[in-house]
Structure 1
Amino acid sequence: MTSLAAPARVIASADEALSAATELAGRFAAGATARDRDRRLPFAEIDELSASGLLAATVPARFGGADLPPSILAEVVRRLAAADPSIAQIPHSHFVYLNVLRFGGTEEQQARYFAGVLAGGRIANAQSERGGRTVADVATTLAPGADGALRLDGEKFYCTGSLFADTLAVLARSTDAPGADGGEQVIAFVPADAPGVTVVDDWNGMGQRTTGSGTVRFDCVLVAPDAVVPRSPALSEPTGYGAFAQLLHVAIDAGIARGALDAAAEFVRTKSRPWFEAGVDRADADPLVIQRFGELTVTVRAAEAALQAAGHAVDTVFDGPGTESAQEASLAVATAKVLADRAATEVSSALFEVSGTRSAGEDLDLHRFWRDARTHTLHDPVRFKVWHLGRNTLQGAAPPLHGVL
């Protein structure tokens, strides 16, 4: 929950946002290993992130925010992820659901929730569920309740950031509104401390250990009708909603790759011993090690370049939504996601290859980069992104508007 000692700073420009991200990344990196190793949840660090004003960076200008473009936010997330991938992932859904408000909220809803975010408020997702045939199935219901309120019932898991949030954005089916599969999909914005809400700290993934991605239960939770936003405006039109969400995942993977590369370079410079056959005095003078670092650098820089290109493509959609620009944004982001996925997993594994036996010490926790990469890259399978890219090239097929491409 937000516990700021003073009002959050209001970011006014891209330069301010990037400067704040760099400053915070430097501080967060210092404790990242200990937090991961001991699974110490970053409550103080998330308060710092709130106080910095970065969580309000995308609030529209007419509501007092900087309305920074997606490309700038992606770079902010990338810098944070290079320092601590868990911290970078915690606000992912926060930014995604601000877009739900942007595309589908009423003027009053936007004014209310954007004001809360400008003051340092945090939103987390309660979206995914167990037990359905696919991840897209939603059993949580929002039904008519007492005294004009609505009643929310269901259970969610993978609720990233829920332990740190003031508000939970809950994906549910409105039994009052007709639609496919039992009702229209809506987002209910529910206070995290509302009666009937239980947030459980049960996330046990091998990586991204401190994201607070546990279970949330909703038992007869009363929701005001003006706290409900339809999901369809974000998905039924070429808004760039899905490309934006995926762009931030790309930024996390690219950040992990850069963080792993930097950690490997530092280890080789300061701790590794050269292989005796290399005929050199220092590990960083071994020509084969240098060659491998060159290859890894190409991989990381390619992912970063693809992230930047994809960010500009998403900017174009947000500047002026249109079918053609939205399709190009989805394809650009899909390309970047494939490259960043490969970079994060390859470089975090190659860290040990170039660093040598000493780097495998449990106390060093260098395997956190690989565990974080392997865990985070499971979020959306890149094989389907490759498939959509292939269909577009061969058949001219347009990418779908389902929100995850």
Structure 2
Amino acid sequence: MSTAERSLANAGSPSAVRVLHSEAQALEAAREVAREIAEIAADPSRNGELPRRQAELLSQSGITAIGVPKALGGLGASVETIVETVRIISVADGGVGQLLQIHNVMLRGLLTSSYPEDVRARVIADVLAGKRFGNALAEVGGKNKFALKTRVERRADGKLVLNGSKFYSTGSYLAEWISLTAASDDGGAGILLHRDTPGLTLVDDWEAFGQNNSVSGTVIFDNIELDERFVSRREGPLKRTWLSFPQILHAAIDTGIAAGALDAGVQYLRNQSRPWVESGVENASEEPHIIRQIGEYAVALRAAEALLRDAARVFDQHDRDPENKALQDELILSVASARAHSDSASLKISSDIFSLLGASASLTKWNLDRFWRNARVHTTHDPIRWRLHHVGNYYLNGVDPGEYTAILDAKQKEGATRS
């Protein structure tokens, strides 16, 4: 990327960041910026634009910094509040919700990693100033997601050099810091790169039919000489619940999309739809079949929201007692349940609701298909069938519920992440 392109990508950097003093303030800030984000999302003429303004709104609101612990100058927000901010933003736009989701995941990773204190302090200072994280974890073309081709090698002169590329790099094109994983002869490595690092290229090539505002495109690493302070080596196996944090935030995105779809559909029914000729009523909102179906959608949404809140509360309990095996199990099961219901609710509501709205609702000017497109793309992120498998295996066969962190550990021991 040229200097001009980098400057353009940085154009959305926050000019002033609100300091939030309570979790209630954080939730209100999320609601405030969600209103403007929703207006942008509803405008079909804005489809395909990079979400620079939306990303700037996230940062200026202060909600990108709420996960920073109080000891480091942040709010130290609970998981429940972080989850709720992601849900609120996703009601407005699931793609922008995913920008916030991955930022929070990478921030939590920084806080639990082995990076030295001066590195952590530098990055945290940027986060408090409204800078955001993107990720560069996934790759395409390998046998599975653990077979990393991006590698760190030590040159003859002793320098660590990074080469490779990543895709599905959510938020990276508009982020200040890129958090990535790479293989090496010493096993997997976590690496932090500033967007201005020589040899780093950020490519705007995410062209899916949904979640376009997640800007999940390509990141290329071309003979990048690494500062070893920004390279983290993992010691010991991953925690059983390591994936629960990204998983619960993904559930928040889908729950938000479901709510956004229901609200947009209800508004259309009230203000645009005509009643069916056989109904004998004056307004579509008075049709008994429509009323009943909206009730079904609302029940599905309320169930997803309730399970999401429950899982978030369990998460906060787990964080206060992380070695408690029973709490670990309950966290994995509750997050899996939230994910399954949010997946179902987002797909059902965003797609089925068109059967109530009428043919005119399919016109591009209404932009109502954005909810289904976002739900359909986002729910492919992690197979729900495997979340259900772990729940079912626990109840049927008494098998400890798990995440695929154990598989990752096994693959690394086999050397699968080394080629």
Cross-structure match for 2:177: 167
Indicate the larger mover: 117-126 or 101-110. 101-110
Matches within 5 A, 1:51-66: 51-66=60-75
Q: Which amino acid aligns with 2:94?
A: P
Query: How far off its partner does 1:403 sit?
Result: 4.6
Q: What is the deviation of 1:204?
A: 1.0
Which of these residues, 35, 38, 52, is aligned with residue 29 of structure 1? 38
Which amino acid in 2 is paired with 1:89?
Answer: Q
Hey, what does 2:413 align to over in structure 1? none
Q: 2:401 aligns with which of 382, 399, 402?
A: 399
Residue identity opposite 1:39 in structure 2? G
**Residues 143 and 7 of structure 1: CA distance in aligned 2, closer, same or farther (over 3 Å):** farther
Q: Deviations over 1:19-64 (max 9, x none)?
A: 0000011111111033686301111221121121111111111101
**In structure 1, what is the Cα distance between the partners aligned to 2:122 and 2:98?**
25
Does residue 337 (structure 1) correspond to residue 335 (structure 2)? The answer is: no
Taking the TM superposition and a 5 Å limit, the aligned residue runs for 1:123-142 are: 123-142=133-152
Q: How far, CA to CA, are the matches of 1:129 and 1:4 in structure 2?
A: 27
Structure 1 equivalent of residue 251 of structure 2: 250
Q: Structure 2 vs 1, CA of residues 30 and 320 (structure 1 numbering), >3 Å: closer, same or farther?
A: same
CA spacing shift, 1:203–1:278, aligned 2, 3 Å: same
**Equivalent pair of 1:345/1:374 in contact (CA under 8 Å):** yes
Q: Deviations over 1:337-363 (max 9, x none)?
A: 000000000000122011111111122
What secondary structure is seen at the aligned counterpart in 1 of 2:212? coil
Q: 1:279-358 maps to which residues of 2 (within 5 A)?
A: 279-322=280-323, 323-358=325-360
1:82-93 aligned at under 5 Å gives the runs 82-93=91-102
Aligned to 1:143: 153
Q: CA deviation at 1:164?
A: 0.6
Change beyond 3 A, Cα 1:315–1:112: same
Taking structure 1 as the reference length, what is the TM-score of the superposition?
A: 0.93
Is the contact between residue 40 and residue 46 of structure 2 (CA under 8 Å) also seen in structure 1? no
**Cα shift at 1:313:** 1.1
2:121 maps to which residue?
Answer: 111
| Letter of the 1:47 counterpart | E
Supply the AA of the counterpart residue of 1:352. Answer: F
Q: Deviations over 1:86-120 (max 9, x none)?
A: 11111222211212222223333322221221111
- The yes-or-no answer on 1:211 pairing with 2:214 is yes
Shift of 1:228: 1.3
Q: Which residue is equivalent to 1:382?
A: 384
3-state DSSP of counterpart to 1:305 = helix
Show CA shifts across 1:296-333 (max 9, x none).
Answer: 10000000001001111111122221232122111100
How far apart, in 2, do the equivalents of 1:136 and 1:12 lie?
A: 40
The answer to whether 1:15 aligns with 2:16 is no
Q: TM-score, normalised by structure 2?
A: 0.90
Instruction: Kindly report which structure 2 residues correspond to 1:217-228, keeping only aligned pairs within 5 A, or say none.
Output: 217-228=220-231
State the match for 2:415 in structure 1. none
For residue 206 of structure 1, report the CA deviation from its aligned partner: 0.5
Equivalents in 2 of 1:379, 1:252: separation in Å?
Answer: 11
Q: In structure 2, do the counterparts of structure 1 residues 378 and 45 end up closer, same or farther at CA, with 3 Å as the change threshold?
A: same
> Quick one: which of 194, 201, 211 aligns to 1:198?
201
Instruction: Give the CA deviation at 1:230.
Output: 2.9
SS at 1:171 equivalent: strand
1:196-232 deviation per Cα after TM superposition (whole angstroms, max 9, x unaligned): 1111111111101122111111010111111012345
Q: 204-213 or 393-402: which moved more?
A: 393-402
Aligned to 1:180: none
Q: Give, as a single letter, the amino acid of the residue that structure 2 aligns with 1:246.
A: Q
Q: Distance in 2 between matches of 1:188 and 1:129?
A: 15
Q: Unmatched 5+ residue regions in structure 2? A: 1-8, 408-419
CA RMSD of aligned residues (A): 1.9
Matched letter for residue 334 of structure 1: A
The range that moved more, 158-167 or 257-266, is 158-167
Whichever residue aligns with residue 312 of structure 2, its letter is G
Q: 2: distance between equivalents of 1:68 and 1:404?
A: 29
Residue-pair matches, total: 396
Maintained 8 Å contact 1:9/1:52: yes
Letter in 2 for 1:132: G
| Partner Cα distance (2:234, 2:301) in 1 | 35
- One-letter amino acid of the counterpart of residue 93, structure 2: D
Q: More displaced, 333-342 or 67-76? A: 67-76
Q: How does 1:260-279 map to 2 (within 5 A)?
A: 260-279=261-280
Alpha-carbon distance between aligned partners in 2 of 1:90 and 1:37, rounded to the nearest angstrom: 18
Give SS of 1:97's match.
Answer: helix
Look up the equivalent residue of 1:208 and give its one-letter code. Q
Deviations 1:230-262 (A, max 9, x none): 3456x6234x43111100000000000000000
Q: Contact (CA 8 Å) 2:169, 2:216: kept in 1 or not? A: yes
| Alpha-carbon spacing, 1:401–1:229, altered in 2? closer, same or farther (3 Å) | farther
Which residue is 1:73 aligned to?
82
**Aligned AA for 2:145?**
V
Shift in CA distance, 161/346, structure 1 to aligned 2, threshold 3 Å:
same
Structure-2 change in CA distance of 1:404 and 1:77 (3 Å): farther
Question: Relative to structure 2, which stretch is displaced further, 121-130 or 108-117?
Answer: 108-117
Q: Give identity over the alignment, percent.
A: 37
1:49 has 2:58 as partner: yes
- Alpha-carbon separation, structure 2, partners of 1:404 and 1:308: 27
